[in-house]
């Protein structure tokens, strides 16, 4: 490269975004696939609007061979670039230098290109399916966030929307799908060219293509939208549930946003290999097979619920994300936070008996957990590098984002919120928006200054912990000037405008106010002494019982995104209220979740947490028991390092907590029982097995034997299979491999994804390190699809952490080359966070000094921080002198 050219091109290196002197308005994209050679070639012609005189055109390209390039202006003059420079590296751009100045006006840029199908589930990638026992290739796209550039040269930024006209050459026996309906097909011997209708304007990351063999089913909505579900051959009946969900979801969102679905069709495709869960390509949603396909016998209640939420989430994106798109990735939460929140709303409409909004608390809890870390980030986060975008598809964007939306909805009211969102969608349809644009619409409609209230929640890390004290019927609420809650025990900066809700001894005695200063007092004497005048959700007997105790619950129904810390006497009264069943399920969840978080942050002793857990013995509500079980797991895990001599006593205590609910639910489903009972059964028996309850373990092993004898046995439902698998593995060792071998055999013989996934989630849960190593090596084999490694990794337990860490180090180069950066964060999260010592954190930091990659930099820092947080908690637990006596007492209590 000549020095002058090099200097000219250097101005484009290291820039976060593309220069804006040329704006695309439409793409004409032709792709030719060779699935035998696993390659593709193509031509893209981009209609451009040149808005500044320039000698350069700069667009995105990554790992493409660029061949011919030309530019034709509106006067039909054609220019060939004198310099064609591909900067793969960190810039991922194609710089085209011309001798002549390109004048302001319209023109067409043409580029021919080719490349191999990507092996790492991104861009235009290869995946395989089995047809008659023969493995064959198919092709799928996954462009979000910034991988359209791997398929064709483009302006790969969400704000640079354009229309797309796509045609594809494929083998004649295959089905080709894209965002729009097929306009025409032409056959030339064994190759067919499929022409698709031109799309409305959309961002490049939403372009989608799928080429493979499918069966499909379809239904047309009342508005004339054709909805189709594409399934593996012979499994179209497994797509009926998702098809029905999509049709209902389209109607729900059309009415909610007062805006029709913007395309003539919606295809949903189950693909055999997929890096995420699902992707909202405009009009062509792609899913993992196990998330789209539902089997009445083999799919658990949990998977049925997850499938419902995911389908609702992806359909919702066609309004929040596709029709109105974030201006830049800093505003990703506008896509993901809103789609998460409204997917729960749609699920609640379709299945009100699921009480899904109570389960939304798990989204809030996960968001609070991550946002308590120093390595968290604001909901609106600066994005400076293309590959770092992948790291913000996390619990902050999805779960904190959706929880903050839920909090704002509760503050404004449902009707005002819906009216505002409808106006927002109409105003920005086909355009891009920033967070400030949404706040402006909400402020216009409500008459409130939403931006001043919400900026704290979206532009900075963390959230407040609200301390509550009581004296003479005066409640004092305080958020310190340094009030940000951090699990490290440190305090961050700043104050929040916090919507506070309080109930005083009853849900008919409530107060709501905004805490805008460091502290505020609330006189509740009138509430304490006033007679009941309104109807309560609780019966009179419970009301009388509750009135005997003056209890205070802040953050009613956990609607706010903050923690609450009660002084000791208020905390004691709350324990009594829980034991007397005075609190709602959501508030019982919230008290436990806040106490656990304060314990992890070493702001409350473990003894306080255990004393609170003891009052949940008679609990039967699914969401409360689910949280209780989760806390039990975490306490056992940390105690293995902190107080190993007390682990068995803790397990016995936890078994005693859960036996009541286990006896009520039983192993087998009851005709007509609720969805929540099915969910509860699976979690409770899995927990009892994990904690070593002898009777449950024996029963689980017997039912597993029944499954081996008869794959269709009614003795082991989809909801309880994982409990049986874990029971078998806990009795397996190097010298007694039968259980491990039985699980591998079941996996290899299973012909449905519904059967395979639970097995993969368990095979690394064996306490024998040698079998853990065997499971990890099995994961690397051709027996396990790349996309499924996360299931195996999720099953790792603390007993296998050292062998897993050693295995990761020894196989790092192989893992990196096999899976690429897109899946590496799974290995980092699941293996590293099993540790809880500062020495191990230092060892891990040293290993990754020369191996860091932009796609998992933040994830690595978060994992190391979590290790150090747990190390601090371990030391704090060891200093609790009264803990052993309490644990012994609780273990003996029946």
Exposed, middle or buried, 787 (CB in 10 Å: 0-12/13-18/19+)?
Answer: buried
Let me know the angle formed at the C-alpha of 667 by 665 and 672, rounded to the nearest 5 degrees. 60
Residue 832 · residue 867 · CB < 8 Å: yes
- CA dist 484 → 342, 461, 467, 526, 590 (Å): 28, 8, 12, 32, 18
Q: Cα 467 to the chain's mean position, in Å?
A: 31
The set of residues, in sequence order, having a beta carbon less than 8 Å from that of 782 and lying 6+ positions away, is: none
**Any catalytic annotation for residue 314?**
yes
Do 29 and 165 meet the contact criterion of CB atoms below 8 Å apart?
yes
Task: Judge contact between 272 and 286, C-beta under 8 A.
Answer: no
Tell me phi and psi for residue 160, to 5 degrees.
-95, 65
Cβ neighbours of residue 109 under 8 Å, at least 6 residues apart? Answer: 45, 46, 48, 57, 69, 70, 71, 96
Beta strand pairing call for 491-492 and 484-485: antiparallel
- H or E element that contains 85: strand 83-87
- Of the candidates 25, 419, 399, which has an alpha carbon nearest to the alpha carbon of residue 200? 25
Contact 324, 282 (CB under 8 A): no
In a 10 Å sphere around its CB, with 0-12 CB exposed, 13-18 middle and 19+ buried, how is residue 123 labelled? buried
Tell how far CA 2 is from the center of its chain. Answer: 48
Q: Do 217 and 240 form a contact (C-beta atoms < 8 A)?
A: yes
Q: Cis omega (within 30 of 0) on the bond before 182?
A: no
Q: Of the residues 92, 273, 289, 314, which is catalytic?
A: 314
d(CA 314, CA 340) in angstroms, rounded, equals 9
Q: What is the C-alpha separation between 84 and 71, in angstroms, rounded?
A: 13
Both tokens assigned to 490: 């440190």
Partners of residue 432 on adjacent β-strands: 325
Query: Among 742, 758, 732, which residue's Cα sits nearest to residue 705?
Result: 742
**DSSP letters for 689-754:** HHTT-HHHHHHHHHHHHHHHH-TT-TTS-TTTHHHHHHHHHHT-BTTB-HHHHHHHHHHHH--SHH
Q: Is 133 helix (H, G, I), strand (E, B) or coil?
A: coil
For 276, the token pair is 């995420």
| Residues in contact with 367: Cβ distance below 8 Å, sequence separation at least 6, in sequence order | 395, 396, 398, 399, 400, 401, 402, 403, 561
* Euclidean distance between CA atoms 73 and 109, whole angstroms: 9
**Cβ–Cβ < 8 Å for 92, 60:** yes
Contact 324, 424 (CB under 8 A): yes
Give SS3 for 38.
coil
Give the C-alpha separation, 218 to 266, whole Å.
10
Query: d(Cα 728, Cα 738) in Å, to the nearest integer?
Result: 9
Contact of 686 with 654, CB cutoff 8 Å: no
Which pairing describes strands 325-326 and 284-288: parallel, antiparallel, or unpaired?
Answer: unpaired
Enzyme catalytic residues: 314
């Amino acid at each position: 490269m000549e020095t002058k050219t090099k200097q000219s091109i250097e101005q484009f290196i290291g820039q976060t975004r593309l220069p804006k002197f040329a704006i695309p308005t439409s793409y004409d994209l032709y792709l030719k696939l060779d699935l035998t050679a696993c390659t593709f070639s193509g031509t893209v012609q981009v209609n451009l609007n040149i808005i500044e005189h320039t000698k350069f055109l700069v667009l995105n390209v990554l790992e493409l061979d660029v061949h011919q390039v030309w530019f034709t202006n509106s006067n039909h003059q054609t220019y060939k670039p004198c310099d064609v420079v591909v900067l793969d590296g960190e810039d991922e751009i194609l710089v085209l230098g011309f001798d002549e100045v390109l004048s302001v006006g319209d023109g067409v840029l043409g580029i021919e290109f080719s490349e191999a199908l990507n092996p790492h589930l991104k861009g235009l990638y290869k995946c395989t399916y089995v047809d008659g026992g023969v493995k064959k290739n198919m092709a799928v796209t996954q462009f979000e966030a910034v991988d359209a550039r791997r398929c064709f040269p483009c302006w790969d930024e969400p704000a640079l929307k354009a229309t797309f006209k796509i045609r594809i050459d494929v083998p004649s026996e295959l089905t080709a799908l894209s965002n729009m309906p097929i306009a025409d097909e032409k056959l030339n011997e064994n190759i067919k060219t499929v022409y698709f209708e031109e799309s409305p304007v959309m961002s490049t990351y939403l372009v989608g293509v799928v080429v493979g063999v499918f069966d499909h089913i379809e239904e047309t909505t009342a508005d004339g939208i054709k909805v189709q579900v594409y399934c593996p051959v012979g499994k179209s009946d497994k797509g009926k549930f998702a098809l029905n969900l999509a049709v209902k979801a389209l109607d729900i969102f059309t009415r909610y946003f007062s805006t029709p679905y913007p395309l003539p069709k919606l295809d949903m495709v189950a693909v055999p290999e997929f890096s995420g869960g699902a992707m909202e390509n405009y009009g062509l949603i792609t899913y993992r097979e196990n998330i789209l396909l539902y089997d009445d016998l083999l799919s658990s209640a949990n998977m049925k619920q997850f499938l419902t939420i995911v389908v609702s989430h992806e359909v919702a994106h066609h309004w929040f994300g596709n029709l109105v798109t974030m201006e830049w990735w800093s505003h990703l939460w506008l896509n993901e936070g809103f789609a998460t929140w409204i997917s729960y709303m749609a699920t609640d409409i379709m299945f009100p008996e699921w009480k899904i909004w109570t389960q939304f608390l798990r989204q809030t809890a996960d968001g609070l957990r991550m946002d308590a870390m120093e390595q968290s980030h604001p909901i609106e986060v600066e994005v400076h590098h293309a590959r770092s975008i992948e790291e913000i598809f996390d619990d902050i964007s999805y779960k904190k984002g959706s929880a903050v939306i839920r909090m704002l909805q509760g503050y404004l009211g449902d009707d005002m919120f819906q009216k505002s969102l409808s106006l927002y969608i109409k105003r920005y349809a086909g355009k891009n928006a920033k967070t400030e644009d949404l706040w402006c619409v909400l402020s216009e409609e409500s008459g409130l200054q939403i931006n001043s209230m919400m900026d704290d929640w979206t532009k900075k890390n963390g959230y407040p912990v609200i301390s509550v004290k009581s004296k003479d019927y005066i409640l004092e609420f305080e958020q310190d000037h340094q009030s940000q809650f951090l699990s490290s025990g440190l305090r961050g900066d700043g104050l929040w405008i916090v919507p506070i809700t309080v109930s005083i001894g009853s849900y008919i005695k409530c107060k709501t106010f905004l805490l805008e200063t460091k502290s505020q007092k609330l006189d509740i004497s009138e509430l304490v002494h006033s007679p009941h005048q309104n109807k309560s959700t609780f019966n009179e007997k419970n009301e009388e019982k509750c009135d005997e105790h003056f209890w205070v619950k802040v953050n009613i129904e956990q609607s706010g995104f903050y923690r609450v810390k009660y002084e000791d006497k208020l905390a004691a009264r709350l324990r009594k209220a829980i034991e007397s069943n005075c609190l709602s399920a959501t508030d019982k969840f919230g008290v436990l979740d806040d106490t656990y978080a304060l314990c992890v942050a070493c702001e409350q002793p473990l003894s306080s947490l255990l004393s609170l857990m003891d009052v949940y013995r008679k609990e039967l509500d699914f969401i409360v028991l689910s949280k209780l079980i989760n806390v039990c797991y975490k306490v056992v895990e940390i105690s293995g390092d902190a107080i190993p001599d007390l682990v068995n006593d803790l397990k016995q205590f936890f078994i005693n907590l859960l036996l009541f609910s286990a006896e009520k639910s039983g192993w087998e489903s009851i005709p007509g029982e609720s969805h929540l009972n099915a969910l509860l059964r699976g979690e409770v028996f899995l927990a009892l097995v994990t904690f070593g309850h002898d009777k449950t373990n024996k029963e689980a092993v017997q039912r597993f034997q029944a499954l081996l004898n008869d794959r269709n046995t009614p003795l082991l439902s989809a909801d309880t299979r994982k409990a049986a698998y874990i029971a078998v593995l806990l009795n397996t060792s190097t010298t007694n491999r039968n259980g491990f071998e039985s699980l591998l055999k079941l996996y290899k013989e299973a012909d449905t994804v519904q059967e395979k996934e639970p097995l993969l989630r368990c095979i690394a849960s064996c306490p024998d390190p040698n079998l853990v190593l065997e499971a990890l090596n099995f994961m690397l084999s051709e027996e396990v699809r790349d996309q499924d490694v996360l299931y195996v990794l999720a099953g790792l337990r603390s007993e296998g952490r050292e062998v897993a860490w050693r295995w990761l180090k020894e196989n790092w180069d192989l893992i990196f080359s096999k899976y690429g950066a897109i899946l590496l964060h799974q290995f980092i999260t699941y293996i590293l966070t099993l540790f809880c010592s500062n020495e191990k954190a230092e060892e891990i930091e040293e290993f990754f000094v020369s191996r860091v990659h932009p796609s998992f930099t933040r994830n690595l820092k978060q994992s190391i921080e979590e290790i150090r947080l747990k190390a601090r908690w371990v030391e704090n637990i060891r200093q609790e002198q009264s803990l052993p006596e309490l644990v012994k007492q609780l273990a003996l209590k029946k």
